[in-house]
A and B are shown apart, each in its own frame.
Chain A
Amino acid sequence: KNQVEQSPQSLIILEGKNCTLQCNYTVSPFSNLRWYKQDTGRGPVSLTIMTFSENTKSNGRYTATLDADTKQSSLHITASQLSDSASYICVGASGNTGKLIFGQGTTLQVKP
């Protein structure tokens, strides 16, 4: 069964600190792994997309890693800002149609 699991479910950090969000996936056939940011009341916005041959990809202060052997991914946020407060969703894309399998998300709250 295709599924994506994320941890932790929620996280509170102080502004300026770093944090890492985790994702375990079972997606077959695997095409790519994505991280989305979803602000409250908004639709998800893509941060990174990685295929199995990529093990790291950055987008500003966001760095995603992918270990295709262990089927794990992480999203590292450097020097957090208040605007990073959002839900971060790990998503696996399956096969040729690109059907997306969503995790339940990690809710990040950055406090001043």
Chain B
Amino acid sequence: EAGVAQSPRYKIIEKRQSVAFWCNPISGHATLYWYQQILGQGPKLLIQFQNNGVVDDSQLPKDRFSAERLKGVDSTLKIQPAKLEDSAVYLCASSPRQRSDNEQFFGPGTRLTVL
């Protein structure tokens, strides 16, 4: 079974530029998550999708971050414009259903450096 795929793996941009990340979840997984992991910290949930609907985006900085999951499969996360404090690893995860006992499967992440 293929895992969660993310691209790019690394990205370096200057502040005020825009950047987009892509995630392809495990086939058949209805729930998709985007996390931000700052160095030395645990992941922080940015947004959760159930199919193509948003379940939780309470911690998404909506003035600069946006995410979509068209057709309920792939997802993109965009930052526009980027700030220095956005430097982090952006993890995508998926799970079969929105259930508390469901395991979440994580992708390798995209490491973003904002200069």
| Chain A residues in the interface with B (C-beta under 8 A) | 4, 31-32, 41-46, 49, 51, 89, 91, 93-100, 102-105
A97 touches B109 (CB 8 A): no
Please name the 6 residue pairs, one residue from A and one from B, whose CB atoms are nearest each other, closest first. Answer: A43-B106, A102-B42, A31-B100, A98-B100, A44-B106, A93-B100
Which residues of chain B come closer than 8 Å to A97, judged between CB atoms? Answer: 48, 55-56, 98, 100
Q: Give 12 A-B pairs besides A49-B101, A102-B42, A104-B42 with Cβ atoms closer than 8 angstroms.
A: A31-B100, A42-B109, A43-B107, A44-B43, A46-B104, A51-B101, A89-B43, A91-B42, A93-B100, A97-B100, A98-B102, A105-B42
A46 to B109: give the CA distance in the assembly, Å.
Answer: 16
On chain B, the residues within 8 Å of A41 by CB distance are 108-109, 111
Interface of A, helix, strand, loop or mixed by DSSP? strand
> Is B71 interfacial (CB 8 A cutoff)?
no
Determine which of B43, B56, B93, B108 lies in contact with A99 in the assembled complex, contact meaning CB atoms within 8 Å.
Answer: B56
| Smallest beta-carbon distance B59→chain A, Å | 10
Complex Cα–Cα for A97 and B48 (A)? 10
Query: CB-CB < 8 A to B103: which residues of A?
Result: 46, 49
Q: Could you tell me if B4 and A99 are in contact, using CB atoms closer than 8 angstroms? A: no
Contact A32 B106 (CB under 8 A): no
Closest to A95 in B: B100
Which chain B residues lie closer than 8 Å to A89 at the CB level?
42-43
A98/B42 in contact, CB under 8 A: no
Considering only residues 54-112 of chain B, those with a C-beta below 8 Å from chain A are 55-56, 91, 93, 95, 98-104, 106-109, 111
Residues on B close to A: CB < 8 A? Answer: 4, 40-45, 48, 55-56, 91, 93, 95, 98-104, 106-109, 111
- Bound complex: CA A91 to CA B104 (Å): 11
Name B44's contact: one of A4, A51, A98, A102 (CB within 8 Å). Answer: A102
- Residues of chain B within 8 A (CB-CB) of A98 are 95, 98-102
Whether A32 contacts B101 by the Cβ 8 Å rule is: yes
Least CB separation from A36: chain B residue: B106
